[in-house]
């Protein structure tokens, strides 16, 4: 590549508390009327004082653990002053000087480590919806508790930018700190992109792409920006330091506002909130509540599963939790990846997975060749039927009539009947003359005579012995 791309990403994660960061208003505004989940505290009417949500602090600690980060026992809040229509009080309560989450890192599937500079708690602003010549303001989101995760500029490709954002999403959802609904903005990504000649001592001027809400959008925006900035540099121009927006429809970024110099937000310590002082016991108690994370599953399943299968399943925490409880991990993971996830309603089915006992019994029946691959898949999907919740796997297989016949004595009788059938005489003659492919026809006749219950492998072996 003619230019080396350097990328830093800021990720805003909405914490899934019941109430907002500094007020006792409902934090879940999905499907609610605009401006119905608001409080005088959130827009700072005179005399209104913020009160820190303890649950948000707990979730921030868990998030820090998922980020391999140090939790600072001392942190404090600051006022970040700026005027914008979706921030009516004129300042945002954030953490600038002393954030709760310190340095950490995220490791990508390819082994690349992206350093985390810090992550801080802050309140979200409202939302503007633009309609040509006017905009509407919805303050339902104002005051929503966030952590903002700030990476170091360690990313150097569109693919790594995409994977980093996905790893953040996995870590935050596995840790249970956010719902992770990208469509509804539970996580949003601001991507800073700059280009420079390989080996250059200084980074190029950067453009910031705001509020991306999908991994694919992150990747596409980086690819577009590389091409756009490369063209400017090739023509001898200078890349503007600015904020740009992204359109999925057009596949392009567009200029929103200039950012030639760092804005003076006039940060000051928040006078209405005391410093936050945590104890080591409190921090450890919350960290111990974090369930297994993607990094734990990668470690425990290393060498047991193909990497591509593991990466698919890591997007679904319930499947990974289920896999951690079964014996035949490889067989069950393949069923999850190739059978369950191919179903149109697979996401709904994740809420009620089969028990480990049912899956272990299914794997054992398949290992003993009591089920064909088709029969195994049929039984597997039946396990998701709510009516089969407490039913034994073998009983389900019997009801479906898919248990294979492995009794060689019984199969020999069926094979003898097939070989004595005049309709098979030509196939028998062809096989004896060296046309081995006709064995498949004869196995098919055995399957037909056994009403699909014969084990085709065993049937084929018996046929070979009798036709030798």
Give the SS3 label for residue 411.
Answer: helix
3-class secondary structure, 119: strand
pLDDT value of residue 262: 60
The domain locations on the chain are 4-282, 292-400, 408-467
Short-list 343, 391, 393, CA closest to 371: 393
Per-residue pLDDT of the chain (468 residues; tens, 9 = 90+): 689 999 999 999 999 999 999 999 999 988 899 999 999 998 888 999 999 999 999 999 999 999 999 999 999 999 999 888 888 889 999 999 999 999 999 999 999 999 999 999 999 999 989 898 999 999 999 999 999 999 999 999 999 999 999 999 999 999 999 999 999 889 999 999 999 999 888 999 999 999 999 999 999 999 999 999 999 999 999 999 999 999 999 999 999 887 656 667 899 999 999 999 999 999 999 999 999 999 999 999 999 999 999 999 999 999 999 999 999 999 999 999 999 999 988 888 998 999 999 999 999 999 988 888 888 999 999 999 988 888 999 999 999 988 876 656 777 778 788 788 888 888 888 888 888 888 888 878 877 877 667 777 777 778 888 787
- Burial (CB < 10 A; 0-12, 13-18, 19+), residue 66, is buried
Q: Within a 10 A sphere around the Cβ of 56, how many other Cβ atoms?
A: 25
* pLDDT of the residue at 260: 58
> CB–CB of 351/375 below 8 Å?
no
User: Which residues does 63 contact at the CB level (< 8 Å), separation at least 6?
Assistant: 13, 15, 101, 119, 147, 149, 171, 172, 175, 177
| Full DSSP string of 318-347 | HHHHHHTT-S-HHHHHHHHHHTGGGSTTHH
Q: Please give the pLDDT value at position 78.
A: 97
* pLDDT for the residue 80: 95
**CATH fit for domain 408-467, picks 1.10.3720.10, 3.65.10.10, 1.10.10.410, 1.25.40.10:** 1.10.10.410
Between β-strands 127-131 and 268-269, what pairing exists: parallel, antiparallel or unpaired?
unpaired
Contact 207, 232 (CB under 8 A): no
The answer, as to whether pTM is greater than 0.75, is yes
Which single residue is written with the structure tokens 């390819």? 110
Q: What is the pLDDT of residue 438?
A: 82
- Kind plus residue range of the DSSP H or E element containing 214: none
């Amino acid at each position: 590549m003619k230019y080396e791309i350097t990328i830093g990403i800021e990720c805003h994660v909405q914490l899934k508390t019941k109430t907002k960061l500094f007020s006792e208003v409902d934090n879940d505004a999905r499907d609610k009327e605009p401006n119905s989940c608001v409080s005088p505290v959130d827009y700072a009417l005179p005399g209104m004082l913020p009160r820190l949500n303890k649950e948000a602090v707990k979730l921030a600690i868990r998030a820090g653990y998922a980020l391999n980060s140090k939790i600072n026992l001392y942190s404090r809040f600051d006022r970040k002053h700026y005027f914008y229509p979706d921030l009516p009080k004129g300042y945002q309560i954030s953490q600038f000087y002393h954030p709760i989450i310190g340095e950490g890192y995220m490791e990508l599937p390819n082994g690349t480590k992206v350093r985390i500079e810090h992550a801080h708690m802050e309140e979200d602003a409202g939302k503007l919806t633009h309609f040509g010549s006017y905009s509407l303001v919805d303050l339902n989101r104002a005051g929503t508790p966030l952590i903002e995760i700030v990476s170091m500029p360690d990313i150097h490709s569109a693919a790594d930018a995409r994977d980093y954002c996905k790893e953040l999403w996995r870590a935050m959802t596995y840790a249970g700190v956010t719902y992770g609904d990208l469509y509804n903005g539970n996580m949003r990504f601001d991507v800073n992109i700059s280009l420079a000649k390989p080996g250059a001592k200084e980074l190029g001027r950067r453009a910031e792409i705001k509020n991306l809400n999908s991994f694919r959008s992150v990747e596409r925006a980086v690819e577009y920006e590389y091409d756009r900035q490369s063209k400017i540099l090739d023509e001898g121009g200078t890349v503007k330091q600015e904020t740009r927006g992204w359109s999925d429809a057009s596949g392009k970024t567009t200029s929103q506002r200039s950012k030639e110099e760092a804005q003076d937000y006039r940060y000051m310590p928040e006078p209405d909130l005391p410093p936050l002082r945590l104890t080591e016991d409190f921090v450890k108690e919350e960290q111990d509540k974090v369930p297994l994370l993607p990094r734990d599953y990668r470690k425990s399943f290393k060498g047991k599963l193909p990497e591509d299968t593991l990466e698919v399943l890591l997007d679904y925490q319930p499947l990974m939790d289920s896999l951690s409880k079964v014996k035949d991990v490889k067989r069950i993971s393949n069923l999850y990846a190739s059978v369950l996830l191919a179903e149109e309603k697979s996401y709904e089915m994740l809420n009620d997975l089969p028990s480990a006992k049912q899956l272990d019994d299914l794997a054992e029946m398949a290992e003993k060749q009591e089920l064909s691959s088709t029969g195994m898949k049929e039984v597997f999907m039946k396990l998701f039927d709510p009516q089969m919740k407490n039913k034994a796997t073998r009983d389900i297989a019997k009801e479906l009539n898919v248990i294979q016949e492995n009794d060689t004595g019984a199969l020999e009788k069926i094979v003898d009947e097939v070989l004595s059938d005049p309709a098979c005489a030509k196939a028998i003659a062809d096989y004896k003359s060296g046309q081995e492919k006709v064995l498949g026809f004869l196995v098919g006749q055995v399957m037909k005579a056994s009403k699909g219950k014969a084990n085709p492998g065993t049937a084929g072996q018996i046929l070979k012995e009798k036709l030798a």
